[in-house]
Amino acid sequence: MAHSSSQPRTIASRGPLNGTVAVPGDKSISHRSLMLSALAIGESRVDGLLEGEDVLATAAAMRAMGADIVREDSGTWRIHGVGVGGLLQPAGALDMGNSGTSTRLLMGLVASHPITATFVGDASLSARPMGRVIEPLAAMGASFSDTPGGRLPLMVRGIAPAVPIRYTLPVASAQVKSAILLAGLNTPGVTEVIEPIATRDHSERMLRGFGADLTVEDMPEGKRIAIRGQAELRPQAITVPGDPSSAAFWLVAGSVVPGSDITITNVGMNPTRTGIITALRMMGADITEIAPRTVGGEPVADLRVRHASLTAIEVPPELTPSMIDEYPVLFVAAAFATGTTVARGAHELRVKESDRIATMAAALNACGVTTREFEDGLAVDGSGGDPLPGGATIATRLDHRIAMSMTVAALHARAAITLDDAAPVGTSYPIFFATLDRLMGTDA
């Protein structure tokens, strides 16, 4: 799954963006729909699945562990599951490419099955620590052989029966929470996760939808999520809403490029994912929700965004869990605002596909933006709506969100901006550049 060669790309400002766009299916929901369908007994159908490299890595891993997964010409995916407890020993290593979500969630699945799996990934993923997932799964009885620092390549030896635990998350992480809950699926008794700070709840919604015995209650120390193991999951028909993380690039582009007017259809509006919309509206963005509705248990809406003058803010730290993946493009929005935007409380950005604080600071600095780096965030001096100087070559560090965020920055820059490698965009948004060309009226 690693990118064999870089794909440099140069982006120049070409005026306003106008039109309607449907973003790819939500990446978080796509991963989980494949995993839980593979653990149900019977056939599940998934429409709108994100067909980026990260999700395809999950599909390949579930096939390797026994699930029958087929994509039809219509775009519908059909999955025949093996049942909870039925995962098979994979014949070879599971290649996760660049996908941290695949890795951490699948570690949870394997941990409570009597199988051994080796996880490998590209250079970026192999630099990301997995210790925060290893700790609770080891407490459940799984054992690990990892590269120093809790990194890939990594071998997980699952155990059945695993031991149910009560685990308080030391940092807000939907991936760690989900890994524990997925391990709890095949663990006798009740596995509990205490979440002091709420994170995205796609796993809880989908587990309940598949028939798992899962409860959520508010307690003084936070949310208590409890799952009773060894349930039989029922197959489902799932329609995946549009990914708000992908929509974020068009929300910012529409806000900062003069004359722009973009409508993004069928965007997931789960309140644990909409921090970027809240932050942009605090800055003065003109974002309108159209036709709010519920699809497959998830709230969705169409979003219309029009150019607006943005004003700097101090980003509330409590928004962090609901927009952790959107900080790079929020930093771009900040670069065009009036005043200095300060974002703190986002330590998690240091251990994403790249160190997104340092990488975005370097990228924006190269394009003429003044930033100040903190251990847990960034301060960005805005241009007041003026174009950025631009004219730089950006080191994307194998990070798809850096590449797309700096593409947005280039759309209102005096000189073109070059990405040293645009290939990582394929991990989450394979048609991003084609969509950009269409919105700018320059598609072939």
Which residues belong to the annotated binding site?
27-28, 32, 100, 128, 173, 175, 325, 352, 356, 401
Angle at 178 between CA 157 and CA 424, to 5 degrees: 90
8 A C-beta contact, residue 33 and residue 240: yes
In angstroms, the Cα distances linking 238 to 18, 234, 246, 292, 428 are: 31, 12, 20, 18, 19
Angle at 319 between CA 313 and CA 320, to 5 degrees: 105
Helix, strand, coil content of the chain in percent (nearest 5): 35, 30, 40
- Among residues 54, 122, 302, 325, the one annotated as catalytic is 325
**How many CB atoms are closer than 10 A to CB 393?**
14
58's enclosing H/E stretch is: helix 53-64
8 A C-beta contact, residue 403 and residue 332: no
Binding residues for phosphoenolpyruvate: 27, 100, 128, 175, 356, 401
Look up residue 152 and give its two tokens. 């890939």
Binding residues for 3-phosphoshikimate: 27-28, 32, 173, 175, 325, 352
Give the burial string for 147-166 (b: 16+ CB within 10 Å, else e): eeebbbebebebbbbbebbe
8 A C-beta contact, residue 335 and residue 388: yes
Look up residue 231 and give its two tokens. 């349930």
User: Which ranges of 210-243 does DSSP label H, i.e. alpha helix?
Assistant: none
- Spacing of C-alpha 35 from chain mean position: 16
Nearest to 279 by CA among 351, 329, 339: 329
Main-chain dihedrals φ then ψ at residue 131, nearest 5 degrees: -60, -35
Query: Is residue 218 annotated as part of the catalytic site, yes or no?
Result: no
- DSSP secondary structure, 163-215, as one string: ---EEE-SS--HHHHHHHHHHHHTSSSEEEEEESS----HHHHHHHHTT-EEE
8 A C-beta contact, residue 227 and residue 191: yes
Active site residues: 325
